[in-house]
Amino acid sequence: MNTFEFLLQGLLIAAQPMNLLYALIGVTLGTAVGVLPGIGPALTVALLLPVTYQLDPAGSLIMFAGIYYGGMYGGSTTSILLNTPGESASIVTALEGNKMARAGRGGPALATAAIGSFVAGLIATLGLAFIAPYIVKMALIFGPREYFALMVLAFVTVSSAFGDSTLRGLTSLFVGLALAMIGIDQLSGQARLSFGIPDLLDGIEVTTLAVAMFAIGESLYIAAQGDRGPDKIEAVRGSVWMSATDWARSWKPWLRGTAIGFPIGAMPAGGAEIGTFLSYAAEKRLTKHPEEFGNGAIEGVAGPEAANNASAAGTLVPLLTLGLPTTATAAIMLAGFQQYGLQPGPLLFATNPQLVWGLIASLLIANLMLLVLNLPLIGLWVKLLSIPKPWLYAGIMLFATLGTIGANPSVFELGMLLAFGLLGYAMRVFGYPIAPVVVGLILGPLAEQQLRRALSISQGDLTTLVASPVALVLLLIAAAALIVPLILRARGRGQVLSQLAASED
Amino acid sequence: MKQFFLASILAGAIALPAFAADYKIIAPANPGGGWDQTARTLQTVMQSEGISGNVQVVNVPGAGGTIGLAQFASQDKGNPNALIVGGYVMVGAILTNKSPVTLKDVTPIARLTGEYEAIVVPASSPFQTFGDLVEALKKDPGAVSWAGGSAGGTDHITVGLIAKEAGVDPKKINYIAYSGGGEALAAILGAQVSAGISGYGEFESQVKAGTLRLLAVSSEERIEGVDAPTIKESGLDVVVENWRMVAAAPGLTDEQKAAVSADVEKLVKSAAWQEQLKTKGWQDTYLSGAAFDEQLAKDVSATEGILKEIGLVE
């Protein structure tokens, strides 16, 4: 049988009424937990695992897949409406999405996120079906030095993409990098900057920091302004749906986001966040409306949302072909496979084709279900914003706190949430961008570990960093991204200076 | 107002355990890992065997399980219905993290499962046998890079022991720590490193598919159904088992401890548990009472010794 016949057969399995029901339960649950900050898809799947022992393998895996896709999508709703990222992969969505929502364009923002997720999920799932073996070969080329080069590229593109002032952006980034140093160093096992506090040994949780900086900091900022707050939230202005311009401005970012998110998701150390950062940076650079970035540009929602859903499908590539779980959710799905005596890996496609293709087909169906489930809800969601401000922000605080306790029942974690909330408030007051702090916390440890692994493998030889063609190309792109704007700016300033000089005559 | 808010949250957090049903099991790790799976398997079997009507699993992740252990020792003191899952990795983590709470501060009940370490190389590797690898290690310890799990964990300790037995300074080993077996597997498959080490289960499907070559396993005797010599056969006296255990809270009376031990014994003897072991590929290494206490003390001192020699513990 060829790939098409397998997929068709898979679709027949997934389209059985009971399996459709499992998919529906999965996406509904997944969307719900994605909306709650802190409670991620991993915990939900873990809680459901014992329940699904009673189901047949196909049914339970279909449900897990639904939860996974639903969770990736659900995070965007709170990011856009409440500026409270439910998952670390939707942090970037909050940047432009929340600005859009405040300007009464929450409807189009949610719609472009939903449709973008669908398009990306569709393309990436088809990619999973047809080119998984090739993608995996490519991902395995990535060793420590290639990852390090990728991180350098992410740092360069992302830090220049945030905020108007490079200095302020870099300051925020370094705050994040400093926070990233806290905890046990992975390569030596030694604790750094933990001051003997056991709770700090594992470092700072990304979602705690993100929720604190975005949600708590924002609430404090609004509360501090009292009634004088200038930016009145407009629930709906214009249509709730996307206009023709919105469509025209969204479709390219969807495709680019997919192209960035899928391969990075498939890399064992890639993760969903890096794809969203790179997608945001790419959209900011390519947009025809640069003035809108930072004030609610639809491209800045469409691209990263597509990227995070594409990376969710990408994650399944190493899981199914190598038996290699690259996220917590994937690790639990692996446990789910083992529950039925199935060992994902190079032989799974050969030994259990029905199951694998049933899973891939049900991903396609889950994806469609998400769209059907969420588009009609957009009108309802945006009404959230018409709640009076004191209630809305009290609700956000409650939500953020509950989510944090839900993920980690510890008083210390709550203390950190408050402390970082105050930091976020102070940074807002003094005009420092928030996102680079979170970016620093995510990218910092990855870059450091990969650099040290690369140097450890080469026994301290620095030339190893440029000895691989992939790493070299990535580093050259990063260098170009850093230097070209500097040259352009220098020339621009030169023109301004010469004009000034000329006008003095 | 804020104080009230905080206070009510705190009160809620403290009141939560009061609703806990028969048994509460702390999995001191994130969902998905070995301890989490052990805790959830215990949960399933305890409920299906009627040992406990309602079992709750709580994840308290962090720092090789020492965060969960510290929380367990202080918050559940004297609670006869609270259990924590742990294992060999925790022994190392307590030492490297200088954890103020150790396994002496809880009541170890029994060792439940275990898994042997496997040493693999990519199919394209020049090393055909474990002997080849050891020869290379002796010639230039730095040139042999090992990918495995977290620093100071079972994988790292095993490499240290191999080096020591081979007459190589364990401080000189070039061990590349990854956050888990999965990420390390990618580095091994991509031939980024010379060799890989992890629990056999992590490598099984790759070995069967021929993409990895299994050089040796760390068991006492050859494992049935696994086509590889032991490390011992090559003349190095290294036997390592990554075991998992269950412990009860500190401050229990002898009767309470006996009751928990009886429950665990009933669980281990049940057909449902044996069935679970088979599907998960875990070895049954049940050991309880004084024999377990003795073995635990031996493991702790051996681990401390090798971690000092590797240079991870002062």
Q: Do B142 and A325 touch (CB under 8 A)?
A: no
Give the mean pLDDT of chain A. 80
- Chain A positions touching B62 (Cβ under 8 A) are 198-199, 201-202
Q: What is the pTM of this model?
A: 0.79
What are the tens digits of pLDDT across the range A123-158? 998 888 888 778 777 778 888 898 899 888 888 877
User: How far apart (Å, rounded) are the C-alpha atoms in residues B159 and B119?
Assistant: 9
DSSP A341: T
- Gap from B255 CA to chain A (nearest CA, Å): 31
* Two tokens, residue A423: 């930091």
Q: Does residue A237 carry a pLDDT above 70?
A: no
Give me the residue from B100, B176, B206 closest to A346, CB to CB.
Answer: B206
How do residues A409-440 score in pLDDT, each as one tens digit?
778 889 999 999 999 999 989 988 888 888 88
For CA atoms A336, A340, A345, A348, give the dihedral sign: negative
Of the candidates A87, A65, A71, which has an alpha carbon nearest to the alpha carbon of residue A30? A71
Torsion angle, alpha carbons of B117, B123, B129, B133, to 10:
-80
Question: Residue B158: what pLDDT?
Answer: 93
Nearest CB to A202; choose among B6, B61, B185: B61
- For testing contact with chain B, the best of A184, A200, A267, A339 (most B CBs within 10 A): A184
Q: Which residue in A142, A188, A339 is closest to B151 by CB distance?
A: A188
Task: Flag if B31 and A332 touch (Cβ within 8 Å).
Answer: yes
Query: Looking at chain B, how many residues does it have?
Result: 314
Partner-chain contact A328 B30, CB within 8 Å: yes
Q: Is A189 within 8 Å of B152 when comparing Cβ atoms?
A: yes
Shortest Cα distance, chain A CAs vs residue B254, angstroms? 30
Beta carbons of A198 and B70 less than 8 Å apart: yes
Which residues on neighbouring strands pair with residue A56, listed in sequence order? none
| C-beta atoms of A457 and B58 within 8 A | no
Q: How does pLDDT run across A4-63, given as a tens digit for each residue?
A: 787 788 888 778 888 888 888 888 888 877 777 666 666 777 666 666 666 777 787 778
Q: Does A115 have pLDDT greater than 80?
A: yes
pLDDT of residue A489: 67
- Residue B5 pLDDT: 42
- Give the closest-approach CA distance of A42 to chain B in angstroms: 7
Confidence (pLDDT) at A161: 65
CA distance A67 to A85: 18
* Partner-chain residue, chosen from A142, A184, A328, that has the shortest CB–CB distance to B63: A184
Q: Cβ neighbours of residue B119 under 8 Å, at least 6 residues apart?
A: B130, B133, B195, B196, B197, B214, B215, B216, B217, B218, B231
A-chain residue closest to B194, CA distance: A457
**Phi, psi of B212, rounded to the nearest 5 degrees:** -125, 150
Of the candidates A481, A461, A437, A480, the one whose C-alpha atom is nearest the C-alpha of residue A144 is: A461
Residue of B nearest to A43 (CA): B31
* Average pLDDT, integer, range A54-73: 78
Whether A196 contacts A460, CB under 8 Å: no
Per-residue pLDDT tens over the stretch A291-346: 888 888 899 899 999 998 898 888 888 888 777 777 767 777 777 776 666 667 76
Q: Closest approach of chain A CAs to the CA of B192, in angstroms?
A: 6
CA distances from A400 to A47, A421, B2, B265 (A): 21, 11, 15, 42
DSSP 3-state assignment of B120?
strand
Contact predicate B173/B159, CB 8 Å = yes
Distance (Å, whole) CA A36 – CA A404: 10
Asked casually if ipTM beats, i.e. exceeds, 0.85, the reply is: no
Place of tokens 């994130």: B30
Compute the distance between CA of residue A266 and CA of residue A274 in angstroms, rounded to an integer: 12
- Structural domains in chain B, sorted by start: 2-114+242-310 (3.40.190.150), 115-234 (3.40.190.10)
Minimal-distance CA residue of chain B relative to A51: B44
Q: pLDDT tens digit string along A165-177? A: 778 888 888 999 9
Ranges of chain B with pLDDT below 70: 1-21, 31-33, 62, 180-182
Question: Among residues B6, B186, B48, B95, which one has the least CA distance to residue A146?
Answer: B186
CA distance B173 to chain A (A): 10
Cβ partners under 8 Å of residue A354, min gap 6: A9, A10, A13, A58
* CA closest to B152 among chain A residues: A189
A-chain CB neighbours of B10 within 8 Å are 411
Return the structure tokens found at A149. Answer: 């080069």
| Amino acid A162: pLDDT | 64
- Mutation pick from B206, B278, B313 vs chain A, by most beta carbons of A within 10 Å, is B206
